[in-house]
């Protein structure tokens, strides 16, 4: 960096780091034999020097000037462009640099929809609380594997959007959950088999640990959830909960030791984990149609079993001493709170009556945010943002929920709802077994929500709500929709929920710089920049990075007999290429700058020309000001001596910075293409479904196929290159004739046979280690 800073003191530090990382990857490709040209520091210095001298040109044009991409073969050029774009460096003159940001949706003022009060003539009900020490079992050491590089790719190489970069967690199964630490270290859990992934803070390497012995093979993949618990003493535990069998594991991230926590008080049915207060050291577990809640306090090492007077349908921890519970029978709401400060867990339940236009709706509360601090206000009001299953409500705002518990019987809590505009009719969750994901971003004070699209496409909407500005920023994002998801119109009439009722469309977490990280069920992780000020600054930097996309063309300037510059049209121009025009007072002025010195000038007499036309004359002004003038005549003949001027139009020799507009594809062309594909598949005795499966396996090994092709063509397996490499540097580029075949030497190419195991074990254990899928990929 010191060397690069010497040659480019004005080049941004971030860009220098990207260039350094890109050239390191190029050197790795050279060492692997995939590229033949040895990329060294010389090329990197040339790029930085060019950026220092021409800062407005843009990195794409600079790389085109330093690297002549036309001289590379298709595979090498593809690897070069892919490497640069991986690090967010735009490459390729045919690229169309665009800015594609989300759209802003204004919302109206909130409407009072609900009022919560104590139920009249009802006193709090005492809850039985049983406290005991947390019982651990085990103490096994988890050893992650060796670090592997993640295929992290920058997302702003050609198109500027909210997405910063993306990568994929290495799994062939389903990605279940992901959490982050204060240092942006990530922990992700996946299936097929169950694997825990440790991703570094830079999100470039990953270490994986097999969790099969803790979660053995079951009839259905476990629906594991993660919670990163932080205690007041500074401890940090990664908790894994399996709702199917109520197993709960705790991993000490400092010691890499894992223990099993015994959850007493739960019935042998599926349970749910509330991790909204995990950052404070509290985790709660509850079960539908059951009255017990297990409250685990990692700060004190205690476990509290709270027996409620009602059976639970929904449970939310507002704070450690205040819970919100919904009854599964009557659908009534109850506040469970602590009677005094000496009680370790909430022990009183108060029935709450709800009135208003939203009281009778069948909506279900899905998310309660942490306290929101609005700009210019104190935190004394304890504002909470709420998300429900009501698609007509963007978000709801509740203030001072604890006021309901005051001694005043008239004390109430009002819930205000921001209604969704009528134009957002299509932005709704239309799935019956797929929940939207919600997360409050404390650093940017925005409420994030991911809504799946019911159109059948793998996309969804990311909505960012700012309560202080009363607006929504909506971004269309790629999103994988599980195949088991069912639309509400297609839901079974029997009301059967199915085994995937608790599936969430995406997992979200907030990074230390305020960015939003999302992960879908296929393991694709995307990082989004959601702060408006940061987006504006990044857009300005990105414009400088790609350069000024103007319409300047490549042109040729000529000098006439008088030493003056003329363009291809014969117009008088300056050294900068700007056309010089005649002013009103006979003064020559540039078309780019029409201001000039005062004073009059008289044109000189025309000189004789031997081509049948009058020549050019010049004269100087007599006034007090500085001025000059020239007369011009029309040349109708060729010059007697010298090269004939060639005024060819070279306006088409432009360096394109935008791609030409794509040609419209007609329906007839599409039908012709489909017919050709059907005939081609029929000739190979393949169906469209077979071709789709074939392409799915082919995409997984596309990189390996390309690398093998490069090695066979120009790598170590090529006998010609091996011989030339052994003869020395002087003879590498010497043309060598073909040798006559030797006696007894094999004349025909070698034939390699692959034997594949197709026994029943390949199918049975494919879900465990993907042995059948890997064999099929090797065959391709």
Sign (positive/negative) of CA torsion 371, 373, 374, 379? positive
The pLDDT-based confidence of 545 (bands split at 50, 70, 90) is confident
Pick from 171-175, 271-275, 604-608, 686-690: least confident: 604-608
Q: Which of 561, 608, 604 is nearest to 586 (CA)?
A: 604
Please give, one letter per residue, the 3-state secondary structure of 421-437: CHHHCCCCCCECCCECE
The pLDDT-based confidence of 71 (bands split at 50, 70, 90) is low
Read off the pLDDT of residues 431-441 as tens digits, 9 standing for 90 and up.
888 889 999 99
- Across the strands, what pairs with 463? 449, 474
Q: DSSP string covering 151-187, please?
A: --EES-SSEE-SEEEEEE-S-SS-EEEEEE-TT--EE
Contacts of 779 (CB under 8 A, 6+ apart): 754, 756
Pick from 167-181, 228-242, 604-618, 747-761: least confident: 604-618
Quote the pLDDT of residue 670: 81
d(CA 49, CA 21): 17
Quote the pLDDT of residue 311: 92
End-to-end CA distance of the chain: 43
Domain positions in the chain are 2-93
d(CA 86, CA 108): 42
Pick from 7-16, 734-743, 753-762: least confident: 734-743
| Packing angle, helices 59-66 and 532-546, rounded to 10 | 30
Q: DSSP string covering 586-603, please?
A: S-EEESS--------B-P
Read off the pLDDT of residues 208-222 as tens digits, 9 standing for 90 and up.
999 888 887 666 778
Quote the pLDDT of residue 198: 96
Read off the pLDDT of residues 78-119 as tens digits, 9 standing for 90 and up.
778 788 878 878 775 455 677 888 888 888 888 898 888 888
Inter-residue contact 128 to 98 (CB < 8 Å): no
Coil vs helix vs strand at 623: coil
Q: Which of 59-68, 576-585, 745-754 has the highest mean pLDDT?
A: 59-68
Kindly report the pTM of this predicted structure: 0.72
Per-residue CA distances from 413 to 335, 368, 379, 418, 472 (Å)? 12, 15, 16, 17, 25
- Across the strands, what pairs with 249? 240, 260
Quote the pLDDT of residue 490: 57
Token representation of residue 674: 């489909």
Our CA angle for 493, 497, 500, nearest 5°, is 140
Read off the pLDDT of residues 266-311 as tens digits, 9 standing for 90 and up.
888 889 999 999 999 999 999 999 999 999 999 999 999 999 999 9
Is the pLDDT confidence value at 343 over 50? Answer: yes
Quote the pLDDT of residue 648: 38
Report percent pLDDT > 70 for the chain.
74
């Amino acid at each position: 960096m010191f060397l690069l800073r010497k040659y480019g003191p004005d080049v941004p530090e971030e860009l220098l780091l990207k260039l350094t990382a890109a050239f390191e990857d190029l050197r790795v490709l050279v060492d692997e034999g995939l590229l033949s040209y040895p990329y060294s520091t010389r090329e990197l210095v040339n790029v930085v020097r060019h950026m220092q001298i021409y800062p407005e040109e843009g990195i794409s044009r600079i790389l085109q000037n330093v690297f002549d991409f036309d001289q590379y073969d298709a595979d090498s050029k593809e690897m070069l462009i892919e490497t640069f774009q991986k690090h967010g460096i735009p490459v390729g003159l045919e690229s169309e640099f665009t800015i594609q940001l989300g759209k802003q949706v204004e919302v109206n003022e909130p409407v009072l929809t609900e009022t919560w009060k104590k139920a009249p003539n009802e006193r709090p009900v005492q809850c039985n609380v049983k406290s005991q020490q947390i019982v651990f079992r085990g103490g096994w050491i988890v050893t992650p594997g060796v670090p592997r590089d993640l295929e992290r790719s920058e997302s702003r190489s050609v198109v500027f959007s909210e997405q910063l970069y993306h990568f994929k967690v290495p799994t062939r199964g389903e990605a279940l959950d992901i959490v982050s630490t204060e240092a942006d270290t990530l922990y992700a859990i996946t299936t097929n088999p169950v694997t825990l992934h440790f991703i570094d803070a830079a999100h470039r390497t990953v270490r994986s640990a097999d969790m099969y012995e803790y979660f053995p093979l079951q009839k259905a993949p476990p629906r594991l959830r993660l919670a990163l618990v932080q205690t007041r003493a500074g401890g940090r535990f990664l908790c894994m909960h399996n709702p199917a069998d109520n197993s709960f594991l705790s991993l000490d991230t400092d010691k890499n030791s894992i223990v099993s926590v015994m959850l007493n008080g739960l019935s042998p049915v599926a349970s749910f984990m509330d991790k909204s207060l995990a950052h404070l050291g509290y985790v709660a577990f509850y079960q539908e149609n059951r009255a017990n809640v297990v409250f685990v306090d990692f700060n004190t090492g205690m476990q509290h079993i709270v027996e409620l007077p009602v059976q639970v349908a929904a449970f939310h921890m507002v704070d450690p001493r205040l819970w919100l519970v919904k009854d599964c029978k009557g659908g009534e709401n109850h506040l469970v709170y602590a009677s005094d400060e000496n009680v370790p867990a909430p022990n009183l339940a108060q029935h709450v009556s709800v009135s208003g236009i939203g009281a009778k709706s069948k909506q279900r509360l899905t998310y309660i945010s942490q306290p929101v601090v609005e700009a210019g206000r104190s935190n004394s009001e304890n504002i909470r943002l709420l998300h429900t299953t009501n698609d007509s409500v963007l978000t709801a705002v509740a203030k001072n929920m604890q006021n309901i518990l005051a001694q005043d019987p008239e004390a109430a809590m009002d819930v205000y709802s921001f209604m969704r505009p009528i134009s957002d009719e299509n932005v709704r969750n239309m799935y019956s077994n797929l929940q939207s994901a919600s997360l409050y971003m404390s650093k940017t004070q925005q409420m994030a929500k991911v809504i799946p699209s019911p159109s059948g496409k793998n996309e969804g909407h990311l909505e960012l709500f700012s309560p202080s500005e009363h607006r929504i920023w909506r971004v269309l994002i790629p999103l994988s929709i599980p195949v088991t998801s069912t639309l509400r119109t297609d839901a079974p009439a029997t009301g059967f929920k199915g085994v995937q009722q608790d599936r969430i469309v995406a997992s979200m977490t907030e990074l230390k710089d305020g960015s939003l990280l999302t992960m879908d069920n296929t393991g694709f992780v995307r990082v989004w920049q959601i702060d408006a000020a940061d987006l504006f600054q990044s857009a300005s930097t990105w414009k400088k990075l790609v350069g000024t996309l103007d319409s300047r063309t490549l042109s040729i300037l000529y000098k006439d007999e008088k030493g003056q510059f003329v363009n291809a049209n014969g117009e008088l121009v300056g050294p900068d290429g700007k056309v010089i025009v005649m002013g009103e007072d006979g003064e020559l002025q540039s078309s780019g700058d029409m201001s000039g010195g005062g004073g009059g000038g008289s044109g000189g007499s025309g000189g004789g020309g031997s081509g049948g036309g009058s020549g050019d004359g010049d004269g100087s002004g007599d006034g007090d000001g500085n001025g000059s003038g020239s007369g011009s005549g029309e040349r109708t003949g060729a010059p007697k001596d010298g090269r004939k001027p060639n005024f060819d139009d070279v306006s088409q020799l432009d360096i394109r910075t935008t791609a030409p507009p794509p040609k419209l594809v007609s329906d007839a062309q599409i039908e012709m293409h489909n017919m050709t594909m059907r005939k081609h598949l029929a000739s190979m005795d393949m169906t469209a479904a077979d071709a789709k499966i074939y392409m799915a396996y082919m995409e997984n090994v596309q990189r390996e196929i390309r690398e093998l092709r490069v090695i066979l063509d120009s790598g170590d397996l090529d006998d010609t290159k091996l011989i030339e490499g052994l003869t020395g540097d002087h003879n590498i580029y010497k043309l060598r004739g073909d040798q006559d075949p030797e006696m007894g030497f094999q004349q025909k190419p070698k034939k390699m046979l692959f034997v594949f195991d197709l026994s029943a074990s390949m199918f049975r254990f494919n879900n465990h280690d993907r042995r059948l899928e890997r064999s099929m990929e090797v065959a391709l």
